[in-house]
Copies of this chain bind each other. A is one copy, B any other.
Amino acid sequence: MSTLSLHGYYRSSTSYRVRIALALKGLEAEQVPINLLKEEVRGDAYLALNPQGLVPTLIVVDDDSPEGSLPGVVTQSLAIMEYLEERWPTPALLPDDPLARAHVRSLCLFMACEMHPLNAPRVLKYLTGEIGVDEAQKLAWYRHWVAEGFSRLEILLTASAGRFCVGDTPGMADACLMPQIHNARRFECDLSAYPCILRIEAACQQEEAFRLAHPSQQADAPHQ
| Residues of chain B contacted by A66 (CB below 8 angstroms) | none
Partner of A74, one of B53, B78, B102, B155: B102
Q: How many copies does the complex hold?
A: 2
Q: Are B79 and A109 within 8 A (Cβ)?
A: yes
Per the bound structure, the CA–CA distance linking A156 and B53 in Å amounts to: 11
Judged by DSSP, the binding face of A is helix
Q: Does A51 contact B (CB under 8 A)?
A: yes
Known contacts A112-B113, A113-B116; decide if A101 and B126 are in contact (CB<8 Å): no
CB distance from A107 to the nearest CB of B (A): 8
Point out residues on A near B: beta carbons under 8 Å: 51-54, 60, 72, 74-76, 78-80, 82-83, 86-87, 98-99, 101-103, 105-106, 109-110, 112-114, 116-118, 123, 126-127, 130-131, 133, 137, 140-141, 144, 152, 155-156, 159
Selected A-B contacts with CB under 8 Å, 27 pairs: A51-B155, A52-B114, A52-B156, A53-B152, A54-B114, A72-B99, A74-B103, A75-B106, A75-B110, A76-B109, A78-B109, A78-B113, A79-B102, A79-B103, A79-B105, A80-B102, A83-B99, A83-B102, A109-B112, A112-B112, A112-B113, A113-B113, A113-B117, A114-B117, A117-B118, A127-B131, A131-B137
